[in-house]
Structure 1
Amino acid sequence: MKKSQWLCELIVLLLALLFLYTAFSKLIDMRHWIRAIHNQVFPKSVDPFLVVLVPIVEIVVGVALLIPKWRRFGFTGSMILLSGFSIYILLGILHAFKRVPCGCAGVFQAMSWPVHLVFNVVFLSLTIIGLILNRKADHIKAVSKRYSTT
């Protein structure tokens, strides 16, 4: 296995672990997750959707990353989620909200907002690197497949 393939697989595993861990942390401690969502700055009418939708999306992204045919979807979903979460954290740090709530799960509850932002930016960078490596690997597979069938 080439270094780039190995690196891509490592990134996939790290991202899948991140999303599956956070999703299942929310589902295991649903009472805390519901309180955290009620504490957010969003309109209360979206709370029931967020309580269910966020962990489901995290699970879908985590699983998609682990399935090679769905990996590009997983990387794209990861990029969207991490960008969204990072923007939300940045807005909190910049005091765009009247209060700074936290809806974090598991070990992330203990992180300060600036540390959480750095964590998210690191994982967002890994996502972009993984997406690039995955696209290159897909391109190489397509080219070699094209030439092996002729």
Structure 2
Amino acid sequence: MFKRQVLLECVSALLILLFVYASLSKFLDFHTFYKEMNNQPLPDSWTPFLVWFIPLMEIGISVSLIFERTRLLGFYGALVVMGLFTIYTGIVLMHFFPYVPCSCGGVIKRLTWTQHLILNLFFVAISIVGVVIQTRKRFTNISITNKQNSFV
């Protein structure tokens, strides 16, 4: 049980670091992030919404991973977001777009698309680990609570 809790905390910390770093790098170089979002294969009319939604969503996931009560939601959020980013990276690697768009910030911007895919797959995997462990933990806690209540 103790090892699972330590693993859960490590997975949470890694995801929090990733999402806080990603959101802060977007906010700290907002002008560049805005321009790069206009370079995405999406309608430019979506940019004013996306430049705020994406980093705020990343912060929201980070905050939800801090608290026990919302951690499972945070793991699911991380899994969905990282899954979508991974699919997007795979599409880029298959040369689906006529140009290579990128709106990543900071150090992540220096990765090749293959390295990006590997990084994303790693975070998808640890998000799944977080979902599984947190779900088992929650199920075990409910089961123990129900057994205790049946004796009362």
TM (norm. structure 1) is: 0.96
For residues 114-135 of structure 1, the C-alpha deviation after alignment (integer angstroms, 9 at most, x for no partner) is: 1000000011000001110001
CA displacement, residues 93-140 of structure 1 (integer Å, 9 cap, x when unaligned): 101101011110111010001100000001100000111000111111
**Equivalent in the alignment of 1:62:** 62
Larger mean Cα displacement after TM superposition, 125-134 or 140-149 = 140-149
Structure 1 unaligned segments of length 5 or more: list them.
none
Which amino acid in the other structure matches residue 8 of structure 2? C
For residues 1-54 of structure 1, the C-alpha deviation after alignment (integer angstroms, 9 at most, x for no partner) is 611111011101100111111011111111111111111111111111111110
- 1:69-108 deviations in whole A, cap 9, x for unaligned? 1111101110110011111111111011010111101110
2:41 paired residue number: 41
**CA-based RMSD:** 1.0
> How far apart in 1 are the matches of 2:9 and 2:141?
16
Query: Which residues of structure 2 form unaligned runs of 5+?
Result: none
Aligned to 2:115: 115
Provide the C-alpha distance between the structure 1 equivalents of 2:93 and 2:46, rounded to a whole number of angstroms: 23
Instruction: Show structure 1 runs of 4+ deviating over 3 A.
Output: none
Aligned to 1:84: 84
Give runs of aligned pairs for residues 1-150 of structure 1, distance below 5 A: 2-149=2-149, 150=151
Aligned residue for 1:102, secondary structure, equals coil
Q: Report sequence identity in percent.
A: 33
Question: The residue matched to 1:100 in structure 2 has which SS?
Answer: coil
How far off is 1:148 after superposition? 2.4
